Chain A
Amino acid sequence: MKQADYVIIGAGPAAVAAAETLRSTDKSGSIAIISRENISPYSRMALPYFLTGQISQKGTYLRKSSDHYKQRDITLYHATVTSIDPQNKHLELASGGRITYGKLLIATGASPVKPPLPGLDLPGVHNCWTLDDAKAMAQRAGPGANIVLMGAGFIGCIILEALMSRGATLTVVEAGNRMVPRMMNDVAGNMLKSWCEQKGMTILTSTRVVSVAQAKGKLEVTLDNGASDLVDLVVVATGVAASVDFACGTDMEIEDGIKIDEHMQTSINDIYAAGDCAQGRDFSTGFWSVHAIQPTATEHGHIAALNMAGQEAAYKGSLNMNVLDTAGLISSSFGQWQGVEGGQSAQNLDAERYRYTHLSFEGDRLIGALTIGQTDNIGILRGLIQSRTKLGVWKDRLLKNPNRIAQSYIASTLM
């Protein structure tokens, strides 16, 4: 039986950030990262760029030096955890073995969810989630290939360009009435749609796939409008869910993810959670949300590790934010972009040039923002929201011209 003072399940950004913080905080404690995939910890964020061939497999690794973990005396352990025994502080492994922990961090991330439709387990139907998925998709997505992409959410959108750049013909099927419905409002989501159509893709919103079947050596995809098409590859990007199955046998509190307190501790003593599997404090609302984004993962991992190593650290909550490159059109969303009751909003729309800014305020503070076609200084939107800066006269100026974000920040904080 193996044991470590700190055991981390999962090997993504939250896990690696936690392991590094643990090592810098506790020089001597033993640290083990348990990974289900037998590969150096890598970034799923980088997979679209692997798919285009822009980077090698090593280019996806979270840390590039081959002895990064060894140098820090962090053990990488390839195993699948099947259950947790919090009483005896050990993990059961699929291989039959056990690992005993002093403190445990669950950083298992999320897993793609396939809708319950016939044919989604056929060969040629793939998620876009792991490095192996990317390799399998690359094989089928060659020049001239016909592809159906199910789901125009964040992941669907970010792989559009990679699929197109391989010379494939692409049809996107999205159940919502616009693209990225959970990140973009009607104006922005439909702007993305028209951009993609201009690039030669077929975008079907308010449409669902009802079945996939094998036919004539290809895959026949049937839609709820009765249409069907023969394709070479079906990519399923309809959503993900926190990977928490192995924790279900415990009395750990789990909703959309594992509920964690401000110290990243779960409802069970000495068990912490971080990243996409964790439902932590939402900076904007004060409620608990899963924010499956890289900055939250590393912040969670860092704070969890400090607490696990005995240095009390409290987390003020994560800000939901995203930046997305949809076949070359860059969009971003921050915080409560939907606005709040009684709050004002401002927008600037230039549909022809694919530029859009939408700001939401509560009183004279910025609480949310959406942008399309802008890349300069967009981080300031995070800064203004998260510092709860009182904009004073600049709020009225932003209502008149939402593009003066940088000036409003500089004037409110530096002048």
Chain B
Amino acid sequence: MQKSLHISADDCTGCYQCVLACSDAHGHDFNPVKSVIQVFRFEDEGRDVPYTCTQCDEAWCQKSCPTDAISVDANGAKVVSEALCVGCKVCTIACPFGTINYNADSGKVIKCDLCGGDPACVKACPTSAITFVHSDTAQFNKMRDWAGKTDAGSQQST
């Protein structure tokens, strides 16, 4: 069974360890702008919410790519081929979650690739707010339900 990142925002303390670990894993640098996981701070509510790609089944990014640069790897992650991506950015507006973004340094798009099955953010999280679990979890279903609402492309009437 496929595994996914499970994010429990209630357990997040806003320490940004995941962001730093991710930028190290993907950009070989401790620099938040090179991370593909973000943590959003809600001052009014006093909360921090980690946020990244859910590897959704709809694969908006993959379907909108004009150069076949996005594929699904053995872990079910949608991964970008740097060699095939031309940096056209269509996926960055097609993804309704905004979790695939353009990186001006490389001229390509970047997104969460689950680190090949051993996510750095999970290892870095001191409070288990981010865990790597079998895909059937409430949080992800919630996001996928919402993806369904935006799914203009594939509603099948039954």
Contact = CB atoms under 8 A, between A and B. Distances in A.
Tell whether A pairs with B. yes
A87 interface: no
Contacts of A376: 38, 98, 101
A241 interface: no
A293 B91 CA distance: 12
Contact of A334 (B38, B87, B91, B93): B93
Interface residues of B, number: 45
Interface in B86-130: 86-102, 104
Interface in A375-410: 375-383, 386-388, 406-407, 409-410
A306 interface: yes
Given A64-B68, A64-B84, A379 B42 contact: no
B45 interface: yes
A312 B157 contact: yes
Nearest to B142: A414
Interface in B29-58: 38, 40, 42, 45, 47, 49, 51
Contact of A383 (B64, B66, B96): B96
10 contacts: A13-B66, A45-B67, A59-B67, A314-B155, A318-B152, A378-B98, A407-B42, A413-B143, A414-B49, A414-B139
A406 B97 CA distance: 9
Nearest to B64: A295
A311 B154 CA distance: 12
Interface string B127-158: 00000000000010011001001101111110
A294 B92 contact: no
B86 A379 contact: no
Contacts of A328: 104
A379 B67 contact: no
Nearest to B61: A379
A377 B98 contact: yes
A386 B154 CA distance: 14
A323 B157 contact: no
A42 B118 CA distance: 35
Max chain A C-beta neighbours (<10 A), residue from B45, B87, B88: B88
A56 to B, nearest CB: 11
A43 interface: yes
Contacts of B152: 283, 299, 315-319, 386
B155 A315 contact: yes
Complex A-B, nearest 6 residue pairs according to Cβ-Cβ distance, in ascending order: A383-B96, A377-B98, A380-B98, A43-B66, A299-B153, A379-B98
Nearest to B50: A410
Contacts of B94: 294-295, 379, 382
A59 B82 CA distance: 12
Given A377-B101, A410-B51, 20 more contacts: A46-B67, A294-B90, A303-B153, A315-B152, A316-B155, A322-B93, A323-B93, A375-B89, A378-B101, A379-B96, A379-B99, A380-B96, A381-B93, A382-B94, A386-B150, A406-B40, A410-B40, A413-B146, A414-B142, A415-B47
B9 interface: yes
A392 to B, nearest CB: 13
A406 B98 contact: yes
B28 interface: no
A100 interface: no
Interface string A212-232: 000000000000000000000
B155 A387 contact: no
Interface string A37-59: 00000010110010000110001
Contact of A382 (B45, B88, B93, B146): B93
A61 B90 contact: no
B67 A314 contact: no
Report whether over half of chain A's contact residues are helix, strand or loop; otherwise say mixed.
mixed
B87 A383 contact: no
A325 interface: yes
A411 interface: yes
Nearest to A325: B89
A410 B47 CA distance: 12
B64 to A, nearest CB: 5
Interface in A59-112: 59-64
A294 B64 contact: yes
B40 A49 contact: no
Interface string B69-88: 00000000000000010111
A410 B92 contact: no
A13 B129 CA distance: 40
A409 B51 CA distance: 11
A407 B40 contact: yes
A334 B97 CA distance: 14
Nearest to B62: A298
A146 interface: no
A254 interface: no
A252 interface: no
Interface in A348-388: 375-383, 386-388
A379 B95 contact: yes
Nearest to B154: A302
Contacts of B51: 406, 410
For A46, A294, A386, the residue with the greatest tally of chain B CB atoms inside 10 Å of its CB is: A294
Given A63-B68, A387-B96, A311 B89 contact: no
